[in-house]
Amino acid sequence: MSRHTLPCMISIPIETESIRLAQLLKLASVVQDGAEAKFRIANREVRVNGEVEIRRGRKLRVGNLVEVDGETYEIVAGRSSAT
């Protein structure tokens, strides 16, 4: 019987209401800079919620899923300074 490995989801906490796609890729260390983010997004290497995304300025919110390089990143709420 073969063993199937479920894909690992990596949580990326944000402390703001939204984050732009290129910023998320840098935060997650998927790319080193904005130029690389622009290139990878333009080459249709990035999916948001299962759909290819070509807008590097796409606003992501808590609950969105970003797929790139076989990894899935989930946007989660980070710690808030307001209590």
Q: What is the pTM (predicted TM-score) of this model?
A: 0.85
The domain that holds 72 is classified in CATH as 3.10.290.10
Asked whether residue 4 is assigned to any structural domain, the reply reads: no
Give residue 64's domain range.
Answer: 9-77
* Total structural domains within the chain: 1
Residue 3 counted as domain residue? no
Average pLDDT over the chain reads: 90
End-to-end alpha carbon distance in the chain: 50
44-75 confidence digits (pLDDT tens): 999 999 999 999 999 999 999 999 999 999 99
The count of other CB atoms within 10 Å of the CB of residue 79 is 7
